[in-house]
Structure 1
Amino acid sequence: MRKALLTLSFAALACAAGSVRPAGAAEVRPRIRAVTAFIEIDQNNYASRIEEAQKFLASAKDALNKAGFEGAGGRITTQPFPQYTKGMKAEDAVAFVGKLREAASKGPSGLNIGAAMVHDNDDTAPVSLLVEILSKVSVNANLITADEQGIHWKAIRQAAKVIKQLSERSPHGDANFNFGAIAMMKPYGPYYPGSYHLGKGRAFAIAMEGAEVVGEVFRQHQDPVEAEKHLSETLTSYTKQVELVAMQLARTTGWTYEGIDATPAPIGDRSIATAIESFIGAPFGSPGTETASGIITRAVQATPVKRTGYSGLMIPVMEDNVLAKRWAEGTFTLDSILAYSAVCAGGVDTVPLPGDVTEDQIARILGDVAWLAYRWNKPLAARLLPAPGKRAGEQTEFTGSVLTRTTIQPLPGSKKN
């Protein structure tokens, strides 16, 4: 009898640990972070092109919401801004981008003006212009620091200059939230600020948001093989559903579908750190975090849909409430994030830095990210946020609505006081 009871007990535990959802439990579905429309504009047609994009984005949101996917806010990415500001005086270029922002806000839509430098031998004048733009207009932009030809060392130095100057010229250094130094990133990624394209426009891509989906799987499966298997199956199911909607949109509108980025991006309490902690049974940054990072990335990249963007794992320190808490506690560091980036895709995102960080130190961080991306041929980005007037050990005071306050940590290798 005792043996029978033990057998039944173990069977009950096995069922509880399985992938079957308890009766009455709500399905945990991914949200759509954004649908990003890629357009080509000039000084004469920008208003009509933005309006056309917004009509498409409204239809995309409606279709995705009806298919059971919440969110799907609209974003617009233009071709690289040096193409349509060439020959303008700096003040006129800033004013023109302001007009683009005003037109996009009627949607309302986010706006990304693309890359200041695509190749390492590009003119650096647009970089100085970008500092002017980002310090005065709420748009996103980026700069490419590595591609298949190699690492862009000149671009890395220019990106470091942008980051340092924006920290000095925008309130609280907030403008750096809208700038990314991107390495090995292909066109048509839907996530900001690393989104860009070099084509003729009328294209779109979809960014999914699934940290809670990962958490649901990891709470049920801590065996690495089983966790990867079930996460792959779950993400495959949802991405295929989204792709069906995307392909129907492409057929009915004439816009070109460029793919899905199913990176399970977190936001606030929808935490990727919480998901990973369910798997490892310890704070984020503990042993096993690298394994969890690899499992998530392999599962995302196993989805049989057209993939774009990062398609891996993001670790945005200040966009995830639990990541921000663990960063303050010191359970992971800048070096930890670089280590995790070896098995995932994403990079160094919303990392707060001491306000006195130098341009050279920023360039070295960007160089590390670019090397890692180039060596392993994977898309990585750096979004670094120096905190003006703040030192290691002090709290951040960035005013962005999605940024959680945390403690500024010293740079790796810094001597303790």
Structure 2
Amino acid sequence: MVHWRGNHSSPVFGVVAVRLTIRTITVGVAQEHPVGGAELREAAGVAHRLGARFAESGYEVQTVRLATQPVFGQVPDLAPYATRLQRLMDDEGIGHLSLGPAQAARPDFDLNRLAEIAGMLAACEALSCTVQIATSEHGARVAAAMAAARVVGELSAATPKGVGNFRFAVLAEVGPGHPFFPAAYHEGPSTFSLGLQSAGVVAEALRAIPGEPDPAKITERVRGALAEHVLPVVRLAEKLATEVGRPFAGIDLSPAPHGDTSIGRAIEHAIAGPFGAPGTLSTAAAITQALRTVPVSQVGYCGLMLPVMEDTVLARAWESGGIDLHRLLAYSAVCGTGLDTVPLPGDTPVEEVARLLMDVAALAVRLRKPLSARLFPVPGAGPGDRTDFGSPYLVDVRLPG
């Protein structure tokens, strides 16, 4: 992981100092596959330069990443190409490269191509990719959901403790330009975009109004806090765009959590109760309304991320039964990104995984909003067992009994 540290913090409404972390600077690669080494090295250089410049301005930058056009349909044999890309990323010191989605919602897409994904991701730890099973043009393709569910199971078996599913997601209605992985992919001229780890900003904003029942006041508070933090980031990004010769595409204001930097805790402040209690859904909707009305150029989800195993409060709620798959889907209808880093028993049938994916797809198509699913069948684990991923990105949880 490339990691720069600055020393930037700013007050929420002039009261509480919170450090704003940039989760990702994602540089889009315009060239078609196979992408040449010179093009990737140039994009990597831009990413590193942006990371260093944001750090010099006082911001902590967790990662810089590259996203390409969808590789499926452009390269007939993925394995040797993926190996070459992995070596290039190792040489350039970049640990995250998204190859984009297989557009499996299209009725003419050959679903046999998906059989290549698990082996490719197991062998190449810098790479991510996705499968799109639903779009407004084609609707949801049941056969694609089943094929994608098989990939989930194959990755679970092919990678230690099933952690390979961290770099694979199933998409519905997700377009290009997202900075967050693994959903990111690129179209058009080369640009860069930003994703923030701003759950702490939202939490501090709502700490001051505990138990607030009025969604409009929650929206106002969060919008003001985010604007105060985000506007300087955007101004700097626009300045750096000229410096590096790549347009700034925009910012995904989804307040990504990480461990104790928790979006779950933000909602608990607002409802003065445990996450999942009455008021959770309306608060999630109010926060999302705040995100979408901050006056900056926006890309990506710009919704509330509720990743179960990336947030200590959400992990606790999952263990206790305060949230489950059905509640997470309900919250996604008003706010979020779908089913994210959700652990499942290792013996979950592929048909059941496919039905979950179809639920996400149905919601995305009906609401015309981008949703995705990252599901983690944990090999050998059943109800009551605790995960043990040993990953700095994931919070271990006990599977509900």
TM-score by length of 2: 0.90
Correspondence 1:132 to 2:119? yes
Structure 1 unpaired stretches of 5+: 1-18, 411-417
Aligned partner of 1:81 in structure 2 is 71
2:18 partner SS: coil
**Residues 53 and 387 of structure 1, relative CA distance in 2, 3 Å threshold:** same
- Asked if structure 2 preserves the Cα contact closer than 8 Å seen for 1:345 and 1:378, the reply is no
Counterpart position of 2:272: 281
Q: 1:113 aligns with which of 96, 99, 109?
A: 99
Match of 1:272 in 2: 263
Equivalent residue number for residue 179 of structure 1: 168
- Do the aligned partners of residues 127 and 284 (structure 1) sit closer, same or farther apart at CA in structure 2, a change above 3 Å counting? same
SS at the partner of 1:255?
coil
Report the CA distance shift for 1:307/1:152 in structure 2 as closer, same or farther (over 3 A): farther
Following superposition, the deviation at residue 193 of structure 1 comes to 0.7
Structure 2 CA distance for partners of 1:392 and 1:288, relative to 1, 3 Å: same
Would you say the 8 A contact 1:120–1:154 is kept in 2?
no
Tell me, yes or no, if the aligned pair for 1:41 and 1:84 is still in contact at 8 Å: no
How many residues end up aligned between the 2 structures?
383
Q: Partner of 2:38 in structure 1? A: 48
The answer to whether the 8 Å contact 1:310/1:346 transfers is yes
Q: State yes or no: 1:398 paired with 2:389.
A: yes
Deviation at 1:211, TM superposition (A): 0.6
CA distance in 1, matches of 2:270, 2:35: 51
Contact preservation (8 Å) 1:117, 1:155: no
Cα separation, partners in 2 of 1:239 and 1:277, compared to 1, 3 Å: same
- 1:280-332 CA-partner distances (Å, limit 9, x unpaired): 11111111111221111111101111111110111111111221122111111
Aligned to 1:143: 131
Task: Choose which of 299, 321, 327 in structure 1 pairs with 2:290.
Answer: 299
TM-fit CA distance, 1:205: 1.1
Distance 1:21 1:45, change over 3 A: closer
Deviation track 1:23-61 (CA, whole Å, cap 9, x = no partner) reads: xx5x21421100111114567753211211121112211
Rounded Cα–Cα distance in structure 1 between residues aligned with 2:383 and 2:308: 16
Give me the whole-angstrom Cα distance separating, in 1, the residues matched to 2:83 and 2:236: 33
Aligned to 1:65: 55
Q: Distance in 2 between matches of 1:360 and 1:52?
A: 43
Q: Once the 2 structures are TM-superposed, how far is the Cα of residue 64 of structure 1 from its aligned partner? A: 2.2
Post-superposition offset of 1:108: 2.3
Provide closer, same or farther for how the CA distance between residues 260 and 362 of structure 1 changes in structure 2, counting only shifts above 3 A. same
Q: 1:20 to 1:349 in 2, by over 3 A?
A: closer
Contact persistence 2:100–2:129 (CA under 8 A): yes
Give the Cα separation in 2 of the matches to 1:20 and 1:148. 41
State the shift of 1:375 in Å. Answer: 1.0
Residues 179-199 of structure 1 deviation map (CA, whole Å, 9 limit, x = unaligned):
001111120101011111233
Which amino acid in the other structure matches residue 99 of structure 2? I
Partner residue of 2:209? 221
The equivalent of 1:261 in structure 2 is 252
Quote the Cα distance in structure 1 between the aligned partners of 2:55 and 2:286: 29
Deviates more, 1:48-57 or 1:397-406: 397-406
- Counterpart amino acid of residue 37 in structure 2: A
Q: Residue 167 of structure 1 corresponds to which residue in structure 2?
A: 156
SS at match of 1:61: helix
1:350 Cα deviation from its structure 2 partner: 0.5
Q: Which runs of 4+ in 1 moved over 3 A?
A: 19-22, 40-45
The match for 1:337 among 309, 325, 328 is 328
What's the counterpart of residue 371 of structure 1? Answer: 362
> 1:386 offset after TM fit, Å?
0.3
Deviation string for 1:236-269 (max 9, x for gaps)? Answer: 2333222212222222333132211010110111
**Aligned equivalents of 1:75, 1:397: Cα separation in 2:** 27
Matched, 1:349 2:349: no
Equivalent position SS for 1:120: coil
SS for the counterpart of 1:361 is: helix
Contact 1:120–1:153 at 8 Å: present in 2 too? no
- Contact 1:64–1:72 (Cα < 8 Å) also in 2: no
Is structure 2 residue 190 aligned with structure 1 residue 202? yes
CA contact (8 A) 2:33 2:69 kept: no
C-alpha contact (below 8 Å) 2:172/2:365 kept by paired residues: yes
Give the TM-score, by structure 1 length.
Answer: 0.87
* Contact 1:167/1:388 (8 A) holds in 2: yes
Amino acid in the other structure paired with 1:77: A
CA RMSD in angstroms comes to 1.9
* Aligned partner letter, 2:48: A
